Structure 1
């Protein structure tokens, strides 16, 4: 049975405070350990640890890279991520946590680390941002413009407006008025499974906040739920490779950070309203309310009960989806955002520095190191 050294690292912290951000477990696997770490054991360990992700870092060529010093000497590694339920194709915060472990715990002097992953090669560079030491990741840019999955599509006999909205989301997210708003309203009216999924997620929005209309009762007719959603939702988009759905709330609701933090979503009900066949995560986002402090460009939360993650505290991969959307909405490429989970965290983005990529940056703080035998 292998004896492993595991580290808990908080990524995307607020001001470097360890109790904020998103915790990930990081496990470094040298040549001596790789032979005793089948995928089934990696998954079992991730489930036992119970964090949203456990990252496994290993040399690309274990045979030619013996010994524990490999993690100090090399700048290129293989990286895999496991939730408590499954291996996932992309995880930003566990990538940040892995780089922080190599830089700070292993003393790796490389200016940039490169990770071979299921989403291609991801690079992480140290970056000074004023008084803050950030880690900057280059992630694949993911535009939420894929067709909705077949299970959430309206019927073939639907209206042209609903079909257009389901096929590619809002063609111009910077202009959600007029025909675009009408198309989403029609989509909700004609796609009952999508309506039920979004109603389940959003019906707990605080109706006491500003202009949020009270949600209809859960037993209400689908048409009533669809009508309510048309007042609450500005945009719906889908990223097929990640199975992520992006929902942007109407700015007129004036929810801001406080309102989004107050969303008391039922993750069990949300899981039942969708399926892991087509849902990997639901991103709910909003603009700041008028006069809100903090300097943030937008706020978000991420829910992934279909992969064993009821809510992810801060999600790097989600910001590779959010960045291009809000870059279009706000007409700016450098963005600063807050993910409004209970732990919360800050994320910096550059949507234009590299073609087809998003630079996603944040702080990281080491919290705990322990050994365990599996």
Structure 2
């Protein structure tokens, strides 16, 4: 089998920044074990596979170690290659996924994900994790559908945080979000997911389904700007509309090739 494979940097207008994803276009699903092996070979935080099934486009995401239920940056990247390289007609694409129907809109300046908003709740059952280190004390802890979220005081706390990956790996969740008010954006964040083979994710679109409703309520505004402060970094626009979160960004294609299986 030969099929197209793409490498795309998502949530950035510059190559070598944002979050890289591999996109594999299929005519039908491969065995899960083979898709995982492809993701391991790519060795990126996510590889997205897209395939037409019963006249609908379906999408699945694999880290180098496991399949995940939702991935924002790889969905944005998948829409980017359809609009830019695959002659997709129209200004919106619908993906069927394990997290329901996901929409991506193309306004020709950026792409916008239409994702379900996360439901979060405050928790206090993690006293051993309330202290990140001697300088940074967590005052609020929340749990969403898949992730835990720690709220810190200021952007500098997010920038300086050195994760204890061994401790984070013990958490019963997909990963850990840390967040604080931003200096030049409404909020900033970082994301750590050693449980799924991603020590630190460069830009995590799906985490913003948790971050957006939290900060929309905290700041009393529904349109927000965000930055993820990883080494590569990335910028997003976020909007809360009812039970949906709209996450906007741009993508850059690094390469297009052929996959030989």
Q: Do they superpose with TM above 0.5?
A: yes
Report if the CA contact (8 A) 2:178-2:191 is conserved: yes
Q: 1:362 aligned to 231, 249, 255, which one? A: 249
1:300 to 164, 182, 189: 189
Contact 1:6 1:26 in 2 (8 A): yes
Greater fraction strand: 2
Q: CA deviation at 1:108?
A: 1.1
SS in 2 for 1:17: coil
Deviations 1:109-166 (A, max 9, x none): 21110000000000001125xxxx1101110100211xxxxxxxxxxxxxxxxxxxxx
* Helix, strand or coil at the partner of 1:233: coil
Q: Which has the higher helix share?
A: 1
Structure 2: distance between partners of 1:46 and 1:124: 23
1:75-224 correspondence runs (5 A): 76-127=56-107, 133-145=109-121, 168-169=122-123, 187=124, 191=125, 194-199=126-131, 202-203=132-133, 214-215=134-135
**1:143·1:325 contact (CA, 8 Å) conserved in 2?**
no
The alignment yields a C-alpha RMSD, in angstroms, of: 1.8
Q: Distance in 2 between matches of 1:118 and 1:338?
A: 27
Q: How many angstroms does 1:19 deviate by? A: 1.4
**Separation (CA, whole Å) in 1 of partners of 2:59 and 2:260:** 21
Alignment partner, residue 265 of structure 1? 163
Task: State whether residues 261 and 342 of structure 1, in contact with CA within 8 Å, keep that contact through their aligned partners in structure 2.
Answer: no
Q: Could you tell me which residue of structure 2 aligns to residue 157 of structure 1?
A: none
Q: Please state whether the residue corresponding to 1:326 is helix, strand or coil.
A: helix
Contact 1:124 1:136 in 2 (8 A): yes
> In the alignment, does 2:173 pair up with 1:284?
no
2:149 alignment counterpart: 246
- TM superposition score normalised by structure 2: 0.94
Q: Give unmatched runs, 5+ long, in structure 1.
A: 66-75, 146-167, 170-186, 204-213, 216-228
Q: Secondary structure at the match of 1:100?
A: helix
Task: State the alpha-carbon separation in 2 of the partners of residues 238 and 125 from structure 1.
Answer: 29
Instruction: Tell me the equivalent position of 2:37.
Output: 44
Asked if 1:348 corresponds to 2:237, the answer is yes
Cα offset for 1:234? 2.9
Following TM superposition, by how much is the alpha carbon of 1:48 offset from its aligned partner in structure 2, in angstroms? 1.4
Structure with max Cα Rg = 1
